[in-house]
Each structure stands twice: as C-alpha cells, then as structure tokens.
Amino acid sequence: MPAIVRRVLGVVVVVLGAALAIFGAWNAFGLGPSGEARFSVTAKDPGALVVEPDVLNSVEVPVRITATRSDGGSVQVVVAPSVDARAVLDRSAVSTVSGVHYPAGTLDLRTAGVGSSPGVRTADVWRLSAKGVGSAQLVVNQGFGPETAVVASGDAGPLRGVTMTLTWADRAWFFDALAVALIGLIGAAFALGDLWHARAQTGSIHSGSRNRGVIT
C-alpha cells in the first residue's frame, strides 16, 4: 500500500474512531446504567395524542406511556391495532407524534382533524387500557404490532394541556454504547499508533539515506 494512501486512511480512522468514542461515551452518559431513554411533549391543541407504530413499535422493548393533565381531569391511555385505532379516531382532532429527538428528549407533534372522538371510550378494540384522574400510565409490550397508542380524555370534556412521556429502557443499550465507545477508542488508538510508527519509520529511512550519503 502506498505510504500516502496509508497515511490518509490512518487519519480517517483516527477521526472516525474518535467520533465513535465520543458518540458512545455520550450515549452511555445519556442513557445511564439503566439504559433509559425518555421523551416528552406537552400538547397545546385540544384533542387526543397519538403514537403511531413507527414510534411505538420501532424498538423491541416495552414502551411506558405516561399522560398527565394539567387541569387534573380524567385521562386514559389505550392501545389497539393501528387499523382499528385509526378507524376509531376517524377525522377527530388528534396530535400525532411526528418526530423523536434524542438526546434532547423531546417529541414533535403534527395536528390534524376537528372535533372529539367519543368512540375512544366506547370501542372494544383496545388491547390495553389505563385510566386515571390527573394522570394515567401504561406499559406497551411488543409483539402485537403494528399498534397505535392514544391518550384521550377519560370523561366527556375535551383533553387540553396534557403532557405525554414515552420511556424506553434497556440496560443492554448502556453496555452497547460503552462497547461502541471502546471500539472507537481502540480503532483511533490503533490508527494513531500506526501513523506514529510510519512517521518514525520514514524519519529513520531519511536518516539512513543521509548516513549512506556520508559513507559513500
């Protein structure tokens, strides 16, 4: 391998390795030893909050959904096959999670529809359901997807000022992040060593040439 190519690749590996090490360490710090990732949003518009399967079923670990009403009213969290949840909500006012920001821990909402959906309280489609005064919490296990979670008012009144938090937790994530950091660190160290070694070798050759010149 030509020396110049090797030197360029070495620099690339050092940069990538360092990036991985920083990324892994940063994730390990963010997730903590429990491997918990938490995302929250407070809805400004009235209507149900919806978590579709591209978020709810995107990871093979349970999702804990917590909903808290600022007015202390009744709130319910329900989960159903996506086809059924969409049919129940129909064209009612909903705020759907459209973006998840890590590590900021925030969620984006996309608002659509008008009016309430009384079917949320009457329908038999919900596989899981939790209801409470002020707040409600539900843990959605995986393996039944695609499913959709809905946070709705637990009474006839409209749902306003509700804060929803989605929490995923997997201890393996913390160790995975550590492993990534370690791989990056090793890669960067190895490439740095190789660059150092090559530079030293070049210096030695140059020095040898000069010596040979002196002898001849």
Partner 1 sequence: MTRKDRVFALSIAISVSLTGCGAANSVLGIHAPPKVNPSAVPLTPDQARAILTRDFTAAQQGDTTADKTLRDVLRTAYTDEGLRAANARVKLAKVQPTGAVSPLLAPNEPRLLAVPRGFGYPRVLLAQTVASEGPLPILYLLTSPDAATPYRIGASATMLLSTSLKPFDSLAKGSPLVTDGTELTVAPDALLGAYAAGMAFPAKASANPPFAADVFSGQVRAKAASVAKAVAAQATFSQTHKVVPQSVYAVRQAGGDALVFGVIERTDSFAVKTGQAVNTAENKEFVLLTGKKRVTKSASITRLEFVVFAVPRSSGQATLVAASEQVVAGSGS
Stretch that binds partner 1, among 13-21, 71-79, 156-164, 202-210 (CB under 8 A): 13-21
Distance between CA atoms of 55 and 50, rounded to whole angstroms?
A: 10
**Is residue 180 close enough to count as binding partner 1 by CB under 8 A?**
yes
Q: How far is the CB of 94 from partner 1 (least distance, A)?
A: 14
Question: φ, ψ for residue 112 (rounded to 5)?
Answer: -155, 160
The yes or no reply on residue 204 touching partner 1 (CB under 8 A) is no
Q: Where does this chain touch partner 1 (CB under 8 A) — which range of 76-84, 104-112, 156-164, 208-216?
A: 76-84
Give the shortest CB-133-to-partner 1 separation in angstroms.
Answer: 22
DSSP 134-195: SEEEEEE-SSS-SEEEEEEESSSSPP-SEEEEEEEE-HHHHHHHHHHHHHHHHHHHHHHHHH
Contact status: 2 vs partner 1 (CB under 8 A) = no
Q: Are 20 and 187 a contacting pair, CB within 8 Å?
A: yes
Backbone angles phi, psi at 92, to 5 degrees: -75, 165
- Kind of pairing, strands 94-101 and 162-169? unpaired
Closest approach of partner 1 to the CB of residue 190, in Å: 6
What is the rounded CA–CA span in Å between residue 136 and residue 82? 21
User: 122 or 216: whose CB is closer to partner 1?
Assistant: 122
Closer to partner 1 by CB, 64 or 127: give it: 127
Q: Give the N- to C-terminal CA distance of the chain in Å, as an integer.
A: 31
**Residues of the shown chain interacting with partner 1 in the complex, contacts defined by CB under 8 A:** 1, 6, 9-10, 12-13, 16-17, 19-20, 23-24, 27, 37, 52-54, 56-61, 81-84, 87-88, 90, 102, 117-119, 122-127, 145-146, 168, 170, 173, 176-177, 180, 183-184, 187, 190-191, 194
